[in-house]
Structure 1
Amino acid sequence: MKQKLKVIVVDDEPLARRGMLVRLADFPELDIVAECGNGDEAVQKIRDLAPDAVFLDVEMPGLDGFGVLKQLQQMQVTLPYVIFVTAYDHYALSAFEVQALDYVLKPVEKDRLSTAVNKLLKNFDARDDQRHKDQLAAVVAQLTGEQRDQILQRLDKAEPVMSDKYPEAISIKDSGEITRVPVTAIDWVDAAGDYMCIHTKDGQTHILRRTMKELEQELDPKLFVRVHRSAIVNVNTIAKLQMLANGEHQLMLTNGQAVKVSRSYKDRVKMVFNS
């Protein structure tokens, strides 16, 4: 069951306020967390309770409905959805100017209130869905290093958030040129400060400005294995795993290169030989 929306009812007329509470009780999606009889009380309750929505009377002595919103904005309080309740329809334009969700005329009719509540629920669902998308995009961006906007675009199109397709080549910019290095041509990679040194089968070394974590996430884990915090190796270039006299391990590649294996990655390397 979805969590109910927290609602506050604000009206300086006790009978009108009670009538609104009775009508809103017909909507199980709403949870009335407070009722207020004036604008100052409304500001305090909205600030303290952070409701999802407020049914706000426009005309009240002292601080009116518009004054409530102005004061909350000055206090930098996140505004809830606002549905104005008023006996005069000439307030409608002003209500929408302050980005109120809707306005309902007194005496409140059941059908008109139902329309306003349904509008509230739809808008909240849309905002809640967007919030979940933003959270998911942030997590995926942290995992993959991809831009959040690109992830959100896939979510909006109902496409898979994380693609299992890895690039066939890596583009490397250097001195105004872009070199396309096929992934299968990469023997191994090691880190040099803020740069990656990509060593290829033809004996060349390409310099790439990217973190090891970012590069690792771009490479197919079936083809590449992280063997050290500063080294990645193409599994097809591994000739043997050696244990050194000091108890450490190193890989010997088919090109004669020795690559140190750190203890934290040793088990991952051994899986290559067991697969």
Structure 2
Amino acid sequence: MSEPIRALIVDDEPLARRGLELRLREHSDIQVAGHCANGRELLQKLEETRPELIFLDVQMPGMDGFQTLAAIPESKRPLVVFVTAFDQHAVQAFEACALDYLLKPVDEARLAQSLGRVRDALAERGAESQREQLLDLLRRMSGRPDLELEEALSEPLDPSAARDPDMLAIKDGGKISRVPLDSIRWIEAAGDYMCVNTDGETHVLRATLREMENQLDPRRFQRVHRSTIVNIRRVTTLRPHINGEYFLCLDSGHEVKLSRSYRDKLELLK
């Protein structure tokens, strides 16, 4: 029989730590090697416990989850499952890029699914892959596609900018603007930058169209051109163009083109 997977639970809430441990007891191949109330305790216990897996709370006083990871040497960094109180919209980035995440309160079925991913990852032991996934996550959340790992982990997460599903956080230097999603008309690519056209102004940020797609709810925003995402709630009429293309007329009076490659999106606009 193989050795159990050693896990540490890191959370500043005692009830959250206890609740997760009780659920983990249902999985015989998981051994909870200890609890930590904050990032500093984790750093002290790493050498002693040598965990293969950390359940890491994102928001903690002092060192948050990402700052804690930054303090762990890459060669000694275990697999990480984030534990978060963020809502479903905000954790889309986690789902796309992290090994996994769990929403509080932890659901047993979701925990079982997460542990399946952990077992697969340990079987392959893709440490480099985990590093790249983490870096991709931090780049998406910061809106800086050129961010390097150590630089990213040294910056605290701004949960207030990511939590609200009705807002898009746009970072410009040290300033973060929270733009209501309903105010966005369309988003267009301009080289390495995105222009977010709203009712009041145009915001410019450095990102890719794919990154924007991953942040936005597809029930509200759809890509209609290789360089354009539109708020489908702002579309009032569709005007046929040539070769199967359309112009989408927005309630602001502006028009954006729906190219032939994205004709499948017509059903969402009818």
Query: Radius of gyration: which is bigger?
Result: 1
TM range (shorter): 0.3 to 0.5
Structure scoring higher RCO (CA < 8 A, sep ≥ 6) equals 2
TM-score, normalising length: structure 2 = 0.43
TM-score (norm 1): 0.42
